[in-house]
Structure 1
Amino acid sequence: MSENVQGTGQSAVKTGKTGKIDGSQATATKSVVKRTLTTKDLIVFGMIFMVPIAPFSIIASVASVSHGMPAIAYLIAMVAMLFTALSFGMMVPLFPSSGSIYIYASHEMNDSVGFVVGWLMILQYLITPAIMLLMAANALHEYLPHIPVWVWCVGFLVVITAIAMRGMGATVLVDKLALAAELIVLALFFVFGVIYVCKHPQTAHFSGTAFFNPGKFDMGAMMSAVSLCALSYVGFGSIVTLDDQCVRPKKAPGKAMIIIVLILGFLYMSMSFLTMCMDPSGNILQANQNSGFYEVAGLAGKWLGVVCAVANALALGLFTSLSGMTAISSLMYTMAVDGGLPKFLAKYDKKTNVPVGATLFTAAVNLVLIFVFILLGQNTAAKVSNFGALSTYCMLNIVVIWGLGIKARGYRGRSFWRTILCPLIGAVVTFVIFISLGWTVWIVGLIWTALGIVYYLVWTKGMHRTMDLERKVV
């Protein structure tokens, strides 16, 4: 095993005599990544990746599956994510590296477990841009049906790839503008939605059953809905993929994750509640699960439905997919530097601060995935992404219990509730959501996992490549 290096400002890079990445040798070298991101930048990045108006695309599906109680589904998902965010907060200061969960698993368990976790992270982040592009295209296709869905998807993909190649400076600027625009649109929906409910008591009304209806509640259906709406939350984990570019890598990511989960959880539940108040019967939402929300918003004014559709299309098609591309490129770059992935993914442009190889590879893969997901449908595609996210989040909580609780009880003064109880709750809730994804998603996810294991064995045993997926505890 090669020398472990501190994640703050350094990465474990394997180099040969020529200075190129080489899986057979390992030496410590200073990271070429510049630290420019503040806590505020991380919050903006995470909120854009999660999307304040994310439920616009799937709220009709969540409402239908949950029997008219989407707000409860978002609340349950938020609880799971909060406990997971606390676990992140425990690990980030010890391992400030953009590899995140796979680094934690590698150090506390072993490299083989860590690689499988990283492989599952790749599943989540690699397909997220394609899912967002499809959701964006569906929103626009409802109002411009003569333009094929795939045309919108490919067009958005070209734009976000061009922006991503310009570096994080351009990405952060675009993200801030996008976040402001999304919050304005959301405010419009709240204001005019409330006005509509107040003016139409015959067809719309505020009621507690819009939040929880005991007569229709079914735990199995609810957890299935939670497994779908979890897509709106899992993006907070993308923050730690940018640790190497963060000014305060030990504190900022954990703080940012808690903040965005709480803020966006409140927004998701509020808009879900208001939507059900505008359509108490749920008939409009059930009639069209791809565009039902926009039709409900249109009750307050046709212009509002159009504005919400266009805003969500731009948010998902440009801004969220851009953040997703940035996150997966950073993750694959780090794994390639550590010898876990082919070295062409470690190609880096020092001028733009962009992992060029990983970014172009991500764009190419998502070009193919666009057409695959058009056939599968956006809901199934979303759950496939959640297979990767929920499995790694569950693993994160287990790593905290094992590493900071069982192996090192009271580690550095940390109490029982933070090292055992909280991560245990997070692991259980996340696992319950995970098993509710459905057999189709499980089959796809297990096939992906099996491919990862085969790759690991061929890479390490067959080709005798060395991986160094650990980071030094600091």
Structure 2
Amino acid sequence: MASPTAVPAPTASAAPARGGSLKRSLGLWAIVGLGLGYMTPTVVFDTFGIVSGQTDGAVPSAYLIALVIMALTAISYGKMVRVYPAAGSAYTYVRESMHPNLGFMVGWASLLDYLLLPMVNALIIRLYLEQVFPALPPWVTVVVYTVFVTTVICLSMRGTSNLNMVLLVGAILAMIAFVVFTVIELTHGAGAGTIVSAEPFVHDGVTMSALLTGATVVCFSFIGFDAVTMYTEEAKSIRIMPKAIMLTVLLGGAIFLVSAYFAQLRFPTNAPFGEFTDDPLPQIGLLVGGPVFQAVLVSAGFVAALASGLASHASVARMLMVMGRNNVLPKRVFGYVHPRTHTPVFNVVFVGAVTLLAMSFSLDTVAAYINFGALVAFTFVNATVIVHFAVRQGRRHTAGDRWKYIVLPGLAMVLTGVLWSQLHADALIAGGVWAAIGFAYLLVITKGFRVAPKGFDENQPVTGVNKQLTDQA
């Protein structure tokens, strides 16, 4: 769910950077594990109530639709990561394959994701504690969380890759326990009273429009699958990266599908969740396994959200710093690095201020805003495959090339466009306003399109910064 922070190492052919280069030590499954950790598997329970209500009890179908679209997009990421192995962002692919100005706009849309991802983690934790400790005012949770995370990132911008790997194991174990408990209850007549049924996928009252709306929401669960591109320079071979991206999507999708399937069998409607449909994870844990399992599941979700929040907070702070250092944003403010902590303190505090908005927003609204930026990125990554391979390289004259470089990415673009049509109206309005601001700002920094905008890929090395910052970022 979070976007990680990283600095690309030199390629094998480049001269070693001061301090040495990253060691190519990560195998296929190590990279897939890191990718799954960033996707945060427990998020399936966070949005379950929202999607179940939207789809009339067909959450697995929504995940299946989203999985197909994400898998097609993963194929495009796999192709582009071979072209630009030291980067990993839709912004870079669009800038280099299509046009710098268009790349800027895609990056600007993605910046909205970056700014809101720390907030959504604070929101998830707030919703957990509202149910477990109902007497605790929600604003207290958000303020304490934000102050803690902001302070940690201000002091050190170390990533949380290793922690995410540990959390992945814990989360999967908790989800296996959920399936076991649910199977036992289903065999004793709870919920649908069976462990084999097509009802979670299709039944009377389910419409394709509703499923597409649900699929738009659950795309939120897949955000972060492209994070594995940050490990390209540490992979034992660049050839494993397309497979690593695809496996991350497929395994993550399988975890979501299985969990959603059994959750839907156990809870055909949202009635058991009462007023807590916005994030029923604590209620799911309580109803399936009692107070002890509720504590286990909430703890898994809580710690995963915290780790995700740390990673995403550090990532957007660093991206803002890159924008500042390259004069995309005012350098004196956004490019400032504290001389003692060697961290972009202003940026970290700024992101913390945005995170405080978690006091008032709902999960489905924030997820929709984030999905706006994500769908922009996914759409254009698919487009870059067509432009780079079919147009620029002319690889369109054989049936195989047309299938790989036109049909598959084109189909992914169309399906992503279908999800676009189902986005919440507020998300489209907010996203449109954000894009308009970005376009106006682009006019200013390019002097009316007379000069190219400067780069601001989050993985871009930052010049003029104390080396310790580069080591920690």
Same fold (TM over 0.5): yes
TM-aligned CA distance change 1:335 to 1:86, over 3 Å: farther
Over 3 Å counting, the alpha-carbon distance change for 1:63 and 1:281 in structure 2 is: closer
* 2:364 is equivalent to residue 379 of structure 1: yes
Unmatched runs of 5 consecutive residues or more in structure 1? 1-6, 11-27
- Cα distance in structure 1, aligned partners of 2:75 and 2:339: 34
Change in Cα spacing, 1:137 to 1:287, as seen in structure 2 (3 Å) is closer
Q: Which residue of 1 aligns with 2:402?
A: 416
Partner of 1:20: none
What is the correspondence of 1:283-432 to structure 2 with a 5 Å cutoff?
Answer: 283-285=271-273, 287-303=275-291, 304-316=293-305, 318-336=306-324, 339-343=327-331, 345=334, 356-357=343-344, 360-410=345-395, 415-432=401-418
Query: Do residues 257 (structure 1) and 245 (structure 2) align?
Result: yes
1:123 deviates by 0.9
Scaled by the length of structure 2, the TM-score of the pair is 0.83
**Residue 88 in structure 1 maps to residue 77 in structure 2:** yes
CA contact (8 A) 2:167 2:300 kept: no
Judge which range, 453-462 or 424-433, deviates more: 453-462
* Counterpart AA for 2:392: K
State the Cα deviation string for residues 138-169 of structure 1 (Å, max 9, x = none). Answer: 0122111222223223333344445545354x
> Residues 70, 141 of structure 1: CA spacing in aligned structure 2 closer, same or farther, 3 A cutoff?
same
Could you say if the C-alpha distance between residues 174 and 211 of structure 1 is closer, same or farther in structure 2, counting changes exceeding 3 Å?
A: same
SS at match of 1:208: coil
Gaps of 5+ in 2: 1-7, 458-473
AA of the residue aligned to 2:389: L
Whether the aligned pair in 2 keeps the contact of 1:102 and 1:115 (CA below 8 Å) is: yes
Cα distance, 1:419–1:249 mapped onto 2, change above 3 Å = same
Q: Deviations over 1:89-137 (max 9, x none)?
A: 1111211234621111111221110100111111112211111110121
2:192 is equivalent to residue 191 of structure 1: no
Q: Greater CA deviation, 413-422 or 245-254?
A: 245-254
Cα deviation per residue 1:230-254 (whole Å; 9 max; x = unaligned)? 11002112333x3586456844543
Aligned partner (choices 440, 461, 464) of residue 454 of structure 1: 440
Instruction: Output the TM-score relative to the length of structure 1.
Output: 0.83
Please, which moves more after superposition, 229-238 or 407-416?
Answer: 407-416
Distance 1:203 1:224, change over 3 A: closer
Matched, 1:442 2:431: no
1:43-97 per-position Cα deviation (integer Å, ceiling 9, x unaligned): 3442222111111111111111011000111111111111111111111121123
Residue 276 (str. 1) matches residue 276 (str. 2): no
Q: Of 208, 217, 235, which aligns to 1:228? A: 217
Q: Which range moved further: 456-465 or 214-223?
A: 456-465
CA distance in 2, matches of 1:383, 1:31: 42
Cα contact 1:227–1:436 (8 A) shared by 2: yes
**Counterpart position of 1:35:** 22
What is the percentage of aligned positions where both structures have the same residue? 24
Structure 1: distance between partners of 2:232 and 2:115: 20
Distance 1:52 1:267 in 2: 7
> In 2, distance between residues paired with 1:392 and 1:31?
33
What is aligned with 1:14? none
8 Å CA contact 1:48, 1:323 repeated in 2:
no
The answer to whether the 8 A contact 1:236-1:257 is kept is yes
* Aligned residue type for 1:420: I
Q: Which residue of 1 aligns with 2:38?
A: 49
Q: 1:166 aligns with which of 139, 146, 156?
A: 156
Equivalent-residue separation in structure 1 for 2:124 and 2:212 (angstroms): 22
Length, aligned pairs only: 441
Within 2, Cα distance between the matches of 1:463 and 1:432? 32
